[in-house]
């Protein structure tokens, strides 16, 4: 089997595209689609086993991929890693700032260490990656950057640290698009809503029961698929988006547009997911639903 992309074969032929957090979840899916479309994908993350596994998957499918272990919260590590990437590939055409992480907690119970860790990963790390890719090459060759944020438009109760970081990244996206446009660099963002991704299995058991109820607050009455986020990312990296910069694409089934307490949502089965990722794995917490 191969990735079932909606985009034409060879769309990114001859291009090098970096995907941070590329070893799992949305990053893994996006890396697979980009490689299927001809790109040489550079995976970045902290866990080498996941990076190696995804790289091998891509190569087994006939794609090109390489990986670098890097803590994106460290400025020196980011500088060094980006330098190595340019030394090996000469030109970087795209960057997908996907790496991130958070933990569920009310604001009152988040200490400074926990707050700083989430801000560093979800905001500072993305800034460092974008800055180094720009300064070390894109400022001369142009390119496209896509920052992955989140549905934080009404705040993020229970994950306020992540909401603050993602809102900051959305504003950074607008500023970078304006400042770096003179170099032919486009900067956009994608804001996923509730996506059935492997990251959901990392949350505490107490929070997993809440995750199962989320689709009730989505007008399309379902969770999103990783491939539905990846396709939006690929569009923003593509020539079709050559005049799109400084914008954010919401991939959330319209969940961010209303309030179920004011406008109740009827059940239906009219929205069918796009299942393009041939290696997608259903999160374990939904396994009982598949059996049913």
Residue 151 has pLDDT above 60, yes or no: yes
Residue 141 has pLDDT above 50, yes or no: yes
Of the listed ranges 12-26, 82-96, 153-167, 202-216, the one predicted with least confidence:
202-216
203-210 contacts at long range (C-beta below 8 A, 24 or more positions apart): 203/103, 203/104, 204/104, 207/104, 208/285
The confidence score (pLDDT) of residue 206 equals 74
With pLDDT > 70 as the criterion, what percentage of the chain qualifies? Answer: 98
C-alpha count within 13 angstroms, C-beta hemisphere, residue 145 = 34
Q: pLDDT-derived band of residue 291, with 50, 70 and 90 as boundaries?
A: very low
Average pLDDT score over residue span 146-163:
95
Question: Edge-to-edge strands of the sheet including 94-97?
Answer: 64-69, 40-45, 16-20, 94-97, 143-148, 185-192, 248-251
pLDDT in tens, 73-105: 999 999 999 999 999 999 999 999 999 998 999
What residues does each domain of the chain span? 16-291
Q: Does domain 16-291 have CATH number 3.40.50.720?
A: yes
pLDDT in tens, 177-192: 999 999 999 999 999 9
Distances 10 to 30, 38, 87, 145 between C-alpha atoms, Å: 15, 5, 24, 20
Q: pLDDT-derived band of residue 289, with 50, 70 and 90 as boundaries?
A: low
pLDDT in tens, 213-223: 889 999 999 99
Say if CB 192 and CB 228 are below 8 A apart: no
**Reduced to 3 states, what is the DSSP secondary structure of residue 63?**
coil
The confidence score (pLDDT) of residue 205 equals 77
The confidence score (pLDDT) of residue 202 equals 76
The confidence score (pLDDT) of residue 292 equals 43
277/141 Cα distance (integer angstroms): 31
For CA atoms 107, 108, 109, 113, give the dihedral sign: positive
Structure tokens at 182: 């003179």
Q: What is the pTM (predicted TM-score) of this model?
A: 0.95
The confidence score (pLDDT) of residue 284 equals 81
Q: What is the DSSP letter of 183?
A: G
The confidence score (pLDDT) of residue 139 equals 98
The confidence score (pLDDT) of residue 221 equals 96
Average pLDDT score over residue span 43-68:
97
Q: What is the mean pLDDT of the chain?
A: 94
């Amino acid at each position: 089997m191969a990735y079932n992309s909606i985009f034409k074969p060879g769309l990114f032929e001859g291009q090098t595209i970096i995907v941070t957090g590329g070893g799992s979840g949305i990053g893994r899916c996006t890396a697979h689609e980009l490689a299927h479309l001809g790109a040489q994908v550079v995976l970045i993350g902290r866990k080498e086993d996941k990076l190696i596994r995804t790289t091998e998957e891509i190569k087994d499918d006939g794609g090109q991929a390489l990986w670098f272990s890097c803590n994106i919260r460290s400025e020196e590590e980011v500088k060094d890693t980006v330098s190595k990437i340019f030394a090996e590939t000469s030109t970087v055409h795209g960057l997908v700032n996907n790496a991130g992480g958070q933990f569920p907690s009310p604001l009152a119970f988040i200490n400074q260490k926990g707050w700083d860790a989430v801000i560093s990963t979800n905001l500072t790390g993305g800034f460092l990656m974008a800055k180094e890719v720009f300064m070390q090459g894109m400022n001369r060759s142009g390119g496209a950057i896509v920052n992955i944020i989140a549905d934080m438009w009404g705040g993020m109760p229970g994950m306020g640290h992540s909401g603050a970081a993602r809102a900051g990244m959305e504003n950074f996206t607008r500023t970078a698009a304006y400042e770096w446009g003179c170099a032919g660099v486009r900067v956009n963002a994608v804001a996923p809503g509730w996506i059935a991704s492997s990251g959901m299995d990392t949350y505490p058991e107490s929070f997993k029961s809440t995750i199962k109820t989320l689709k009730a607050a989505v007008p399309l009455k379902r969770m999103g698929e990783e491939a539905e986020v990846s396709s939006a990312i690929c569009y923003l990296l593509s020539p079709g988006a050559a005049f799109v910069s400084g914008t954010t694409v919401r991939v959330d089934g319209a969940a961010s547009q209303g309030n179920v307490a004011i406008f109740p949502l009827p059940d239906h089965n009219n929205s069918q997911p796009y299942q393009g990722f041939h290696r997608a794995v259903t999160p374990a917490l939904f396994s009982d639903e598949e059996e049913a």
